[in-house]
A and B are shown apart, each in its own frame.
Chain A
């Protein structure tokens, strides 16, 4: 009895019976939202950290700022502090990411760079479909901070550039446009085209667009879902 009461329910209690997607937050999300782990308490502590990264803008409703302490010998992230302006899923996702990166003595930098929003979501016990959008900044903020570290330590070859290649010169549709369309729920070329008009006057780019849709669909929604 006591044991079961202690166990955190990972699935939210309101499930969309048609899509299986959730409408409400899971208990793990709530736990991280109401009791955020590893967030930076004091401004004065800033200087303690080796690297810093920020993404988002207040106009968008999400800003994440990350501070890292790195063990240069082991190439590991040993501390991850953060501050987030945003909704519950944004706060919980950053909190969870900070736990994932620092647990078990810290994560190797190369491994941390591979953490995807999908991984964070899994650990959170899922997010309501429409809130996935709000949780995708965490790994970007981490990458920004790691880049800062690479710059500071002269490891320029390791810096990751997040380019936004133009796919369709007519409509000026970029990779980021495709990414956002997928995040907004456009899962097929048809729906993405409806939204972005990509490739309608420039069909050469369609194979690349389809590739990207598949990539982002798997990145954000996993392989098992349509």
Chain B
């Protein structure tokens, strides 16, 4: 049987997959591309043969196995070409979280084992890292590591001078994200790499530099030589590839040990049979990401700017979260005062618009976004935060639709709300009281205990 050729629009995605809000079965206006992306039809097509026909295990020597191995090698080469590194410098993982775990745990433990005499090795991370890094650092604290968090400015940027201040001979690893997943603020990775490079010149025991480029890979140059990083995390499902596959660039010579043990696949760094169809899809997605980068960046930026301007024009008391210009072109994170993010999210959902929020009510932990609070925002702002992230499927009519639907929803929720906060008053506006039994909420008290 001849395989069905999937139609795709000029921007890559199949028409009808999204943006059919007017039809009853329509998926609506998806503006949460930072959460995940649909698989590009071309990626999907490339993956298809490896489910049923070419299903072999790449570790096997017979033809079927070799075909699978070849597919894995080709996909690896496609990815490492974009990263500008050698094919054996890339390890596939089950997710970006796993890649982050491998980078942090793998390097921290390996260095500790090899370099004796350092009592309390130090890891330096930024305050806006992904949970995949924060949580693993918390775990390392229990193993006797010292974790230093670099603060970010109000614009969301890490200051390289701050890094220079805290770097010392005990430092094993520095990890700063390329662009955080809430505001999309782009960190000065090259400048940070230079600080580390300068430090290395004077010291024999040098820290490695890791960056999580999961969000950034679609829109920024991920040439590891230019960035000057030793380790870099990628995620396929953030770039129109499949879920369940991520990867870690590990420069040759970096001391690292596995976190998963077994049959010794992938240079013993990540045992387990390779997920061949996902790897093939990842490779294809990476090629397309690089190919479409310029046009796609320009396209989403235009639409994003239209959305941003439109919202600021039609709605009062709105605050931009993150850097005004040094930001991924598809990110818009704002706080709309006097209303709560989850309520807004659900009202938008009712209109077929899918967005995200940093509000406490939307998280499992019931804590407001730590990234947005790290920017120095008061909790009052964070609860009303909303994140739009655009992508290939976003069209001008989508943006017009949002700009039409958002203001009346905000007006209604503001009518229900008893608040009337003042814009620009950035210090804590309300006394932390009366959450339950006349006390400050749990996340406020936790911070107080820390200090």
Q: B residues within 8 A CB of A33?
A: 343, 346
Write the nearest CB–CB distance from B385 to chain A, whole angstroms: 11
Residue from the list B383, B416, B418 in contact with A54, Cβ < 8 A: B418
* Surface stretch bound by A, among B146-154, B182-190, B334-342: B334-342
Leading 6 A-B pairs by shortest Cβ distance:
A176-B437, A87-B361, A83-B418, A87-B342, A65-B418, A59-B379
Our pick among B340, B366, B368, B429 for the contact of A133 (Cβ within 8 Å) is: B366
Contact B383 A57 (CB under 8 A): no
> Which A67-89 residues have a C-beta within 8 angstroms of B?
83-89
Interface string of A82-101 (1 = CB under 8 A from B): 01111111110000000000
A18 contacts B by Cβ under 8 Å: no
**Residue from the set A39, A54, A63, A87 with the largest chain B CB neighbour count within 10 Å:** A87
Which residues of B32-84 have CB atoms within 8 Å of chain A's CB atoms? Answer: none
Is A222 on the interface with B (CB-CB < 8 A)?
no
Tell me the minimal C-beta distance from B370 to chain A in angstroms. Answer: 15
Offer 15 A-B interface pairs, CB within 8 angstroms, sorted by A: A41-B415, A54-B418, A55-B434, A60-B444, A61-B359, A61-B379, A84-B418, A85-B417, A86-B361, A136-B436, A164-B437, A164-B439, A176-B437, A180-B439, A184-B442
Q: How far is the CB of A176 from chain B (nearest CB, A)?
A: 3
A149-166 contact mask (Cβ, 8 Å, vs B): 1 or 0: 000000000000010100
Is B360's CB under 8 angstroms from A61's CB?
Answer: yes
Residues of A in contact (CB 8 Å), total 43
Q: Which B residues are CB-close (under 8 A) to A180?
A: 435-437, 439, 442
- Complex-state Cα separation, A62 to B417, whole angstroms: 10
Q: Which residues of B contact A83 (CB under 8 A)?
A: 416-418
Contact yes or no, A176 B338, CB < 8 A = no
How distant is A198 from chain B, measured CB to nearest CB, in Å?
Answer: 14
Known contacts A34-B347, A61-B360, A86-B340: A179-B418 contact under CB 8 Å: no
Instruction: State which residues 394-410 of B face A: CB under 8 Å.
Output: none
Given contacts A58-B421, A87-B361, A164-B439, contact A36 B340 (CB under 8 A): no
Tell me the complex Cα distance, A84–B361, Å: 14
Size band of the B side of the interface?
A: 35 or more
Chain B residues with CB under 8 Å of A89's CB are: 361
Instruction: Say if the beta carbon of A134 comes within 8 Å of chain B.
Output: yes
B253 interface residue per 8 A CB criterion: no
Query: How far is B366's CA from A130's CA once the two chains are assembled, in angstroms?
Result: 8
A146 at the interface (CB under 8 A from B): no
B250 CB to nearest A CB, Å? 38
The prevalent SS among residues of A at the interface is mixed
| Nearest CB of chain A from residue B349's CB, rounded to whole Å | 10
B433 touches A57 (CB 8 A): yes
**Besides the known contacts A88-B346, A140-B434, A164-B438, 11 further A-B residue pairs in the complex with CB atoms under 8 A apart:** A56-B434, A58-B419, A58-B429, A65-B418, A84-B417, A85-B417, A85-B419, A87-B342, A90-B340, A133-B366, A134-B361
Q: A61-B361, A136-B436, A179-B437 are in contact. Are A88 and B342 (CB under 8 A)?
A: yes
- Give the shortest distance, in Å, between B425 (CB) and chain A (any CB): 12
Tell me, in angstroms, the Cα distance from A130 to B415 when the chains sit together.
Answer: 26
What residues of chain B lie closer than 8 Å to A140, measured between beta carbons?
Answer: 434
Smallest distance from the beta carbon of A52 to chain B beta carbons, Å? Answer: 11
**B16 near A: Cβ within 8 Å?**
no
Alpha-carbon distance between A76 and B436 when the two chains are bound, in angstroms:
27
- Docked Cα-Cα span, A88 to B417, in Å, equals 12
**Quick check: is B430 within 8 A (CB to CB) of the other chain?**
yes
User: Which one, A25, A41, A57, A87, contacts B434 given CB within 8 A?
Assistant: A57
Chain A residues with CB under 8 Å of chain B are 25, 33-34, 36, 39, 41, 54-65, 83-91, 130-131, 133-134, 136, 140, 162, 164, 174-177, 179-180, 183-184
B439 touching A61 by the CB < 8 A rule?
A: no
Q: Which A residues lie within 8 Å of B346 (CB)?
A: 25, 33, 88
Q: Is the CB of B339 within 8 A of A85?
A: yes
Option from B343, B350, B429, B444 in Cβ contact (under 8 Å) with A87: B343
Question: Contact between A61 and B436 (Cβ–Cβ < 8 Å)?
Answer: no
Contacts of B432 in A (CB 8 A): 57, 59-60
* Given contacts A59-B380, A64-B418, A176 and B361 within 8 Å (CB-CB): no
| Docked pose: A133 CA to B442 CA in angstroms | 11
| A84 contacts B416, C-beta separation under 8 Å | yes
What distance in Å separates the Cβ of A65 from its nearest Cβ neighbour in chain B? 4
Identify the closest chain A residue to B442 (Cβ).
A180
A57-B439 Cα distance, complex, nearest whole Å: 10
Contacts of A131 in B (CB 8 A): 361
The answer for the CA separation of A136 and B362 in the assembled complex, in Å, is 17
Give Cα A183 to B436, complex, Å. Answer: 9
Q: How far is the CA of A55 from the CA of B418 in the complex (A)?
A: 11
* Residue among B338, B361, B442 having the largest count of chain A Cβ atoms under 10 Å: B361
Q: Is B306 an interface residue (CB 8 A)?
A: no
Task: State whether B416 touches A39 (Cβ < 8 A).
Answer: yes
**A176/B439 in contact, CB under 8 A:** yes
B294 at the interface (CB under 8 A from A): no
- C-alpha spacing A75/B344, complex, angstroms: 38
301-358 of chain B: CB within 8 A of chain A: 338-343, 346-347, 350
Chain B residues contacting A183 (CB-CB under 8 Å) are 436
Q: Which of B343, B364, B380: most chain A Cβ within 10 A?
A: B343
CB nearest neighbor in B for A144 = B434
